[in-house]
Chains A and B, each alone.
Chain A
Amino acid sequence: MDKYIHTPITEEITADLKSGDYVYITGTIYVARDAAHKRMMEALEKGEKLPIDIKDSTIYYMGPSPAREGRPIGSAGPTTASRMDKYAPTLLDLGEKAMIGKGKRTKEVMDAVVRNKAVYFAAVGGAGALLSKCITKSEIVCYEDLGAEAIRKIEVENFPAIVVIDCEGNNLYETAIREYCMK
C-alpha cells in the first residue's frame, strides 16, 4: 500500500506501517554511516551527549558523493545496514524511531525495533542519482573531518522507501522471497 508520511516519525506513525508498504517520506532526517555511528557510541561511552536530537529521529545510512555546484548533494543511495547492527539497538533504545538502509538486520536489531515500536525501511540500493533528486537541502551537523561519513541533516521530499521490518517484527526480506522461491 502507498503511504505518504512526514517526519518526525512517531509511534503513532509506525503503528500504521506494515511490512511491504511503499512509503514516501517528507521532512527532516539525519544521515550517518559506519564512522559516525562509531563516534556516537564513543561519545555515549564517555558520558557525553549525542550530537543529534535522537528522539523520534530517522537515520538514513548513506554517504553521498560530492555535490556539483548548485546542488544540495551528490549521488545519495542507501548503504548496507548490517554494518550499523552493532550500534542500532542502543540508538533505538534512546529514541531513534526509523532507519533507512538496505539489506538484512540481526535479531538484536529486529528485537529493538519491536521493543521501541520503530521501523526499518529499505531504499532502493544503487539508485543514488534518483534518490538525490528527493533531497532538497543538506547541511553537515558534525564530524566534518569524516568527509562522506560526516553526520548530515537533510530535507527530503517524497523520498521513496519500503517498509521491511515493521513494529510487530514482520520482515519483508523473509516473506517476499518465500513467495517467489521455486527451489
Chain B
Amino acid sequence: MIRSIQTSVITENIKEMCIQANHYLSKDMDAAMKNAVFTEKSELGKKILNQLQENLKIADEEMIPICQDTGMAIIFMEIGQDVHFEGENIEDAINEGVRQGYTEGFLRKSVVKDPIIRENTKDNTPAIIHYSIVPGNKVKITFAPKGFGSENMSRVFMLKPADGIEGVKNAILTAVADAGPNACPPMVVGVGVGGDFEKAAIMAKQALTRNVDEHSNIPYVCELEKEMLEKINRLGIGPGGLGGTTTALAVNINTYPTHIAGLPVAINICCHVNRHVVRVI
C-alpha cells in the first residue's frame, strides 16, 4: 500500500543521526574496542586502546565529538517502492538535515565546494547519497560519516580473473599495509569484490556499515573475512600504527556478479571511529 512520508521527517531524523553518530559508537564497535584492550599484546598498544576507551567515555559524557574529523556525510537511502514523499524534494531535505545536524551539534564543517578551488561550504553539505529502490513502504536510512584520514588510504584494484582469490587477498593486505598508521588503526576494512569500477567501491563503503560482529552469509566469503582479519593482525601495525597485534577489528566483504574479463576489488578503510547509525521510517 502506498505510504506518504513528509520529507521534513527525513530532515529531522538525519539531523539527529549526525549528532548521534559523532558522539556515541554503535554497540558492535564499542564491544570490539573493549575486547581489543584484552587481546592486544603490546604494552604501548594497550595504553593507546585504553586512551581510546577514555576518549569514548568523555565524548559520551561531555558531548565532545569522538573525533574532530566528524566526516563527510555518507548516506544510504533504501526507499520502499510504495513510498510517496511529500514536501520539498528529498535531496534538499537530506542536505537540510546534514546542515542542521552539523551546525546545531557543534560538528566540524569539512566540505569544500570545489575540489580545486577549495572554499568551505560552512555547513558540511552536500552529503554523498546512495539511493536504492527496495520492496515495501518504508525508508531505511544508514548514516555513516566518513573521516578522510582513512578514506585517503582506500584503493581500487582492477584485477584480472586469473588473479583469483589470491589476488584479492594480496590487494587487501597491500592496501592495509600501505595505510599503516595514517588510517588510525585499529581499522575496519570494507571490501567490495566484483561488479564494475564504481560498484566495487560502493560495496566496500557499504561493507563498512555492516556490524563488525556479523559475517557474510556466503560461506567462502565468511572464511575469507576471518582469514584476512587474522593475516592483517599479523602485519604488526597495531594501535596507532605503533606496533601490536590489533591492526583491524573486522574485515567486511561484499560481492556482486562481474564481467567475464574482470575482477574489480575495492578496499575502503575506516579508522576505529567507524560510525554508522541506521533508522527505519
Q: Mark B48-66, 1 if CB is under 8 A from A, else 0.
A: 1001101110110011111
Tell me if A74 is interfacial: C-beta within 8 Å of chain B.
yes
* Chain A neighbourhood of B69, CB < 8 A: 63, 77, 79, 128
Tell me if A97 is interfacial: C-beta within 8 Å of chain B.
no
- The A-B contact count (CB < 8 A) is 170
> Which of B54, B65, B110, B122 is in CB contact (< 8 Å) with A74?
B65
A162 & B242 in contact (Cβ 8 Å cutoff): yes
- For window 36-76 of A, CB contacts with B under 8 Å fall at 62-68, 71, 74-76
- For window 138-183 of A, CB contacts with B under 8 Å fall at 146-149, 160, 162, 164, 172-173, 175-183
How far in angstroms is the closest Cβ of chain B from A106?
12
Tell me if A110 is interfacial: C-beta within 8 Å of chain B.
no
- For window 231-249 of B, CB contacts with A under 8 Å fall at 234-238, 240-245
> Which of B55, B180, B238 is in CB contact (< 8 Å) with A127?
B55
* Chain A neighbourhood of B152, CB < 8 A: 80
Number of interface residues of A (CB under 8 A): 50
- For window 118-152 of A, CB contacts with B under 8 Å fall at 122, 124-133, 146-149
How far in angstroms is the closest Cβ of chain B from A14?
19
> Which of B41, B67, B118, B236 is in CB contact (< 8 Å) with A75?
B67
How far in angstroms is the closest Cβ of chain B from A146?
8
Complex CA gap A178/B110 in Å reads: 35
A129 & B149 in contact (Cβ 8 Å cutoff): no
* Chain B neighbourhood of A125, CB < 8 A: 67, 149, 181, 184, 240, 271
Tell me if B15 is interfacial: C-beta within 8 Å of chain A.
no
- For window 85-99 of B, CB contacts with A under 8 Å fall at none
* Chain B neighbourhood of A75, CB < 8 A: 59, 64-68, 70, 108
List 23 A–B pairs whose Cβ atoms lie within 8 Å, in order of A's numbering: A22-B47, A63-B68, A65-B70, A65-B108, A66-B106, A76-B68, A77-B68, A79-B149, A80-B149, A104-B181, A122-B181, A124-B48, A124-B51, A124-B55, A125-B149, A127-B67, A128-B55, A128-B66, A129-B64, A147-B122, A179-B243, A180-B42, A183-B234
Known A126-B66, A130-B52; 12 more pairs at CB < 8 Å: A71-B64, A75-B64, A77-B67, A80-B149, A126-B67, A176-B236, A176-B243, A176-B244, A180-B236, A181-B234, A182-B236, A183-B235
Which A residues are closer than 8 A to B by beta carbons? 20, 22, 35, 62-68, 71, 74-77, 79-80, 82, 102-104, 122, 124-133, 146-149, 160, 162, 164, 172-173, 175-183
Which B residues are closer than 8 A to A by beta carbons? 41-42, 44, 47-48, 51-52, 54-56, 58-59, 62-70, 106-110, 118, 120, 122, 147, 149, 152, 180-182, 184, 234-238, 240-245, 271-273
